[in-house]
Amino acid sequence: MVEKMFPYGMFALSATLFLAAFLLEKHIPGQFCTALYAAGGMLLGFGVVGFVSSGRRLTPEEKKDMERAETDERNMAIREKAALSTWYWTMYMLWAAFLLIQIFVGGLWGVVVSAAIVLHCVFYMINVHRWSKKM
């Protein structure tokens, strides 16, 4: 019963937060209004996921097939390759953010973003070295 009510509750909360943000926009600080809109958007997303996932129940055979596919070595290798590719693209996006902040903002934020990106890359290289020794 709770699973069926979950999406409706998320939609109701989402609509409430959007309405509150819209009505109180002139009376509350801008950051709080943005937070209300963001929370409403997240709850709307949870509601959509709840509707999609509650639409169909799996049979025991389908559950076994999904479990088998989850632990299949080929599928695990595909997920690892996808994760590695995603990691590379994330690194490029971080470097782009770094470059834009250095050009347009600079100052303390530039130092903070620089440190975060350098630590991200160092952590990546340490893990690559560590895992290459294990395999």
Task: Look up tokens 């999904």; give the residue.
Answer: 66
pLDDT tens by residue, the chain, 135 residues: 666 788 888 889 999 988 988 898 888 888 888 888 888 898 888 888 887 776 567 778 887 887 887 788 887 787 788 778 777 787 788 778 777 877 787 777 777 777 887 787 777 777 777 766 665
Q: How far apart are CA 105 and CA 35, in angstroms?
A: 24
Global pTM?
0.44
Phi-psi region of 29 (alpha: psi -120 to 50; beta: other; left: phi over 0): beta
Q: In this structure, how many other beta carbons lie within 10 angstroms of the beta carbon of residue 15? A: 14
Tokens of 74: 């080929």
